[in-house]
Structure 1
Amino acid sequence: MKTSFVALITDFGEADPFVGLMKSVIYSKNSSLKIIDITHSIPPQDIKTGAFYLMSSIFYIPKKAIVVCVVDPEVGTGRSIIWAKTENHQIIAPDNGIISWVSEKEKILETRIITNDKLFLDKISSTFHGRDIMAPAAALIARGFKEENIGPLYNDYRKIDFPHPKRVGNSLTGEVIAIDRFGNAITNIAKEYVTPKSIFNISNILIKGLTLTYAMGKINEEIALIGSYDLVEFSIRNGNFSKTHNITVGMSIEVMVNL
């Protein structure tokens, strides 16, 4: 599908040249593209956090754009690299489950293994498929490379189930699914599940009710609020909630909904 935009999500950070090299390859194959850096700060090898940021960003990325996701701890092994077409976007990523959660926002219509070597660089490193396969493939597909020539259809891509919260009566059990650089603990609990009077228990910390904004909490106070992802978050005003309380991804949360 022809497009003017490629968006990047990686765990490369900014200290090394990896991001710049991917962009260089993309521009060398298609100099008219616009590249959007969604984030390069996914924790190393953290596929679930990559899946979360892909899911939570997809609505805001220009339609038809190709989103290249490089969180690839199995690089150089037998894992495939796949191209997926959703209702509004395209995704190129290793077949490790990172595309799974995007289906919470957009239906995945078609997936293919990228096997056509016309989409690759001539020399392929065993440790940097982001540069040598995913970047040139994105650039050439964006120019209108025919979808049926990308590679064979592939419906058995790896899937990681999204951890929907579980409700029993007036109680709800959820979990932390991401931690941002401010230390806010982002949960899988959508705003529709809770009320302003809900009571939250995370790591034996009891938080009563929802705060509208970070600044409405008292200095160093633990608060719960609905963040920009429309999910419940836990925060400390002017502090770092997750470091202060040793919060980790996957940690359980108990909620008394209090309708």
Structure 2
Amino acid sequence: MPAITLSSDIGQIDFITGAIKGQLIGAVPGCIPVDISHQLSPVNHQQNAYICKNAYAHFPKGSFHLILINFFEKVPSHVLFTELNQQYIICPDNGLITMIAGGRPASVYAISTNTNGKGTLLACTHAIAQAIQHVHSGGAIQDIASIAMQIEEKYPMRSSVGPDWVDSQIIFIDNFENVVLNITKTEFEEIRRNRGFRIELMHKKDYIDTISDNYSTVPPGESMAWFNSANYLEIAINKGNVAGFFGLKDFSKDATISQNRLSYQSIRIYFY
């Protein structure tokens, strides 16, 4: 039986997430409903894509991933369905598919919510559960969906690069206030070109110039950088809170959203 993951901005207080999992179990008996997170931001797709993409990478082929973020930003007449790395992603037409995939997948389908755009979330997820059941049973998605000719496309931010520096944005701060930047190990080493480096945290006297293997390789209270399990550059303080200590934030929650872009704080890395 397939794993069916659920990611949303609904939170944990409402009954909705439990009701959706009930719908999924009813449509696909024996399936394995899995919560990824229900604390996702309705607007911070950069962070949402980071969380979802790196969770999905560890699921077996044939898994379904349902993402319910800012579901009613548009009239919910349909949701998007695509296959990616032998798994399936279902989400509103809000740019998340291209954020997660890193480009437009070869085939994207539109599944009708059968509500004429007037239904509740549970009415829409009922239609989604039926679509999952159809595909899991061996039915072709083309039988119940149409090709989505035009979809909203959004793409992850890239670090700004100079001859001897790179400005990387903070895309995620975890529960321990460790800070993740939007630069992978591969990108970092390509820019670095075997040079030394300094990650400046606040002032020139506050910097990191080595990559650690994990948190335990530095003494308690010392700042460190390492490539986390998703291979993104992460900054932390062993047994401390680097974000709170240095006043770092992942994005400006009270900033005016201009052209669907949020204001992200950057950290500069110098190479020498």
TM-score by length of 2: 0.80
8 Å contact from structure 1 (residues 46, 71) kept in 2: no
The alignment status of 1:57 with 2:55, answered yes or no, reads yes
Structure 2, unmatched stretches of 5+, are 251-263
Aligned length: 252
8 Å contact from structure 1 (residues 68, 138) kept in 2: no
* 1:216-227 to 2 correspondences below 5 Å: 216-227=217-228
Q: Which stretch shows the higher mean deviation, 181-190 or 139-148?
A: 139-148
From 24, 27, 30, the counterpart of 2:28: 30
Distance 1:129 1:222, change over 3 A: farther
Matched residue, 1:214: 215
Structure 1, unmatched stretches of 5+, are none
Matched residue, 1:199: 198
Q: State the structure with bigger RCO (CA 8 A, min sep 6), 1 or 2.
A: 1
Distance 1:100 1:111, change over 3 A: same
Q: Deviations over 1:120-174 (max 9, x none)?
A: 8xxx743556634434433443233321123221142112121122322232221
* Distance (whole Å) between structure 1 residues aligned to residue 19 and residue 179 of structure 2: 32
The alignment status of 1:108 with 2:105, answered yes or no, reads yes
8 Å contact from structure 1 (residues 67, 92) kept in 2: yes
* Distance (whole Å) between structure 2 residues aligned to residue 146 and residue 76 of structure 1: 27
How much does 1:241 deviate? 1.9
8 Å contact from structure 2 (residues 46, 157) kept in 1: no
How much does 1:28 deviate? 1.0
* Distance (whole Å) between structure 1 residues aligned to residue 75 and residue 67 of structure 2: 17
* Distance (whole Å) between structure 2 residues aligned to residue 66 and residue 78 of structure 1: 20
Distance 1:247 1:74, change over 3 A: farther
Distance 1:186 1:65, change over 3 A: same
* Distance (whole Å) between structure 2 residues aligned to residue 222 and residue 126 of structure 1: 47
One-letter amino acid of the counterpart of residue 25, structure 1: Q
Q: Deviations over 1:23-61 (max 9, x none)?
A: 100011111212232223324553332211122223211
Matched residue, 1:255: 269
One-letter amino acid of the counterpart of residue 251, structure 1: Q
How much does 1:78 deviate? 5.3
Percent identity between the aligned chains?
18
* 1:120-139 to 2 correspondences below 5 Å: 125-128=119-122, 131-139=125-133
How much does 1:96 deviate? 0.7
TM-score by length of 1: 0.84
* Distance (whole Å) between structure 2 residues aligned to residue 92 and residue 127 of structure 1: 14
8 Å contact from structure 2 (residues 159, 166) kept in 1: yes
The alignment status of 1:172 with 2:166, answered yes or no, reads yes
8 Å contact from structure 1 (residues 67, 90) kept in 2: yes
Matched residue, 1:228: 229
* Distance (whole Å) between structure 1 residues aligned to residue 42 and residue 99 of structure 2: 19
* Distance (whole Å) between structure 1 residues aligned to residue 27 and residue 10 of structure 2: 22
Indicate the RMSD between aligned Cα atoms, in angstroms: 2.8
* Distance (whole Å) between structure 2 residues aligned to residue 79 and residue 186 of structure 1: 36
> Secondary structure of 2:135's partner?
helix
8 Å contact from structure 2 (residues 113, 128) kept in 1: no
Matched residue, 2:253: none
Matched residue, 1:246: 247
